[in-house]
């Protein structure tokens, strides 16, 4: 990966690689794409184009974040994924924390080839699910 292939700004990053495989990366609540930057670099070194957009209201100040609602983030993720999938044949999605929840939401709307969830925010409806680590092999 050459420096000319690398673009980083307050609006996110893009690391281009040859081939038709890409990954759309979604950061967590109150975070920014900075926390996912090393992952993006690594993916590009492995031949996978990596793109991350800063979610609306993030990467600036807490006051900016308070002006946004969850639907703003859902819409942003949908637009970012659609933009990348128009360029590449296979686009996987990686989500960290709240980005994991946004990834799951996107997976319900789009036919994704694969997802990776890092510490996703998930609330189970049944309390018995918390017993799984104790009763499952």
pLDDT per residue over 49-74, tens digit each?
999 999 999 888 778 888 999 999 99
Q: Please tell me the predicted confidence (pLDDT) of residue 5.
A: 45
Range of the domain at 21: 3-135
Beta-carbon contacts of residue 41 (< 8 Å; ≥ 6 apart): 1, 6, 15, 50
CATH of residue 62's domain is: 3.40.50.1820
CA distance linking residue 48 with residue 21, whole number of Å: 5
Per-residue pLDDT at 6 exceeds 70: no
DSSP state of 57: T
Q: How confident is residue 133, by pLDDT bands cut at 50, 70 and 90?
A: low
100-118 pLDDT, tens digit per residue, is 999 999 999 999 999 999 9
3-state secondary structure of 12: strand
With 0.85 as the threshold, say if the pTM is over it: no
- Beta strands 49-53 and 12-15 are antiparallel
Question: What is the domain count for the chain?
Answer: 1
């Amino acid at each position: 990966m050459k420096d000319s292939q690398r673009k980083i700004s307050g609006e996110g990053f893009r690391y281009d690689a040859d081939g038709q495989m890409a990954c759309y990366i979604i950061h967590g609540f109150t975070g920014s794409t900075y926390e996912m930057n090393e992952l993006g670099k690594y993916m590009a070194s492995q031949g996978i184009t990596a793109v991350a957009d800063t979610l609306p209201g993030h990467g600036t100040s807490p006051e900016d974040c308070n002006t946004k609602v969850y639907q703003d983030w859902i819409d942003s993720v949908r637009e970012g994924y659609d933009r990348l999938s128009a360029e590449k044949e296979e686009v996987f999605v990686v989500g960290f924390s709240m980005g994991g929840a946004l990834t799951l939401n996107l997976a319900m709307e789009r036919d994704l080839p694969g997802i990776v969830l890092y510490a996703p925010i998930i609330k189970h409806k049944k309390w018995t699910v918390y017993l799984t680590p104790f009763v499952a092999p």
